[in-house]
Amino acid sequence: PSRPRPKVILVIGGPGSGKGTQSLKIAERYGFHYMSVGELLRKKMIHNATSNRKWSLIAKIITNGELAPQETTITEIKQKIMKIPDANGIVIDGFPRDVGQALSFEDQICTPDLVVFLACTNHRLKERLQKRAEQQGRPDDNPKAIDRRLTNFKQNTIPLVKYFQERGLIVTLDADRDEEEVFCDISMTLDNKLF
C-alpha cells in the first residue's frame, strides 16, 4: 500500500513572532521536515544576485522588507518539497503571507492540514527583532526593512487569517509568552488535531 501523504503544517505570524523558533521545535518533536520560505529565498538570492537579473531584483525586494513575487516563491517551494525524502510531515515556516499565496499554494501544491498563527503584539515583535539585529546580521533586520515587514504583515494578515478561519484550518495562539509556554500550546493542538 502507498504511504499516506505527509501532513503539512503552515506556521504564520509577524516578523519576530517566533515562527522559526517554534517550527524547529515542531520538526524536532514530531520528526517533521522543516522548511523556512524566508531562508529559502535568502539563500537563493545570495547565491544568484550577482549573476542573475531576476534574483538581483528579488534581493533588493527582500532587503527592503517587501514580498518576493508569488510565482517565484511557489516554484521554489514546489521544487524544495519534491526533493524532500519520505517524511511524516512538513512544517513550513513563514508562508503564506497573503490570501493570494494561500490560494496558489492550495491550487498548485495541497491543502494544509493545519495553520498555526502566532499572534504577538507589535511592541513585542519590535523588541525581539531589535535584539536579534544586534546579535546577528540578517540583511533585512535594519530599521527601515523591519518597519516595512511589520506594515506588510499588518495589511495582509487579517484577511489571511479570516480566510483560513472560514475553512476551519487555523489555530491562533498567544505568542507573547515564553518560548516553552507557546510550544506547550502548539504541541497540545497538534496532538489533538493531527493524530
139 binds Mg ion (CB under 5 A): no
Residues 6+ apart with CB under 8 A from 163: 99, 102
- Show the cell assigned to 23: 517550527
CA terminus-to-terminus distance, the chain = 20
Contacting Mg ion within 9-68 (CB under 5 A): 20
CB of 109 to ligand UP5, least distance (A): 13
Cis before residue 96, ω within 30 degrees of 0?
yes
139 binds ligand UP5 (CB under 6 A): no
Which of Mg ion, ligand UP5, none does residue 65 bind to, with CB < 5 to 8 Å depending on kind?
Answer: ligand UP5
- Toward Mg ion, which CB reaches closer, 16 or 89? 16
Q: Give the Cα-Cα-Cα angle 102, 155, 178 (nearest 5 degrees).
A: 85
| Cβ atoms of residues 91 and 23 within 8 Å | yes
- How many residues are listed for the chain in this entry? 195
- Toward ligand UP5, which CB reaches closer, 68 or 114? 68
Among the listed residues 7, 8, 9, 18, the single contact to ligand UP5 using CB under 6 A? 18
The binding site for Mg ion (CB under 5 A) comprises 20
The binding site for ligand UP5 (CB under 6 A) comprises 13, 15-21, 36-38, 41, 62, 65-68, 73, 94-95, 97, 128, 132, 140, 149, 178-179, 182
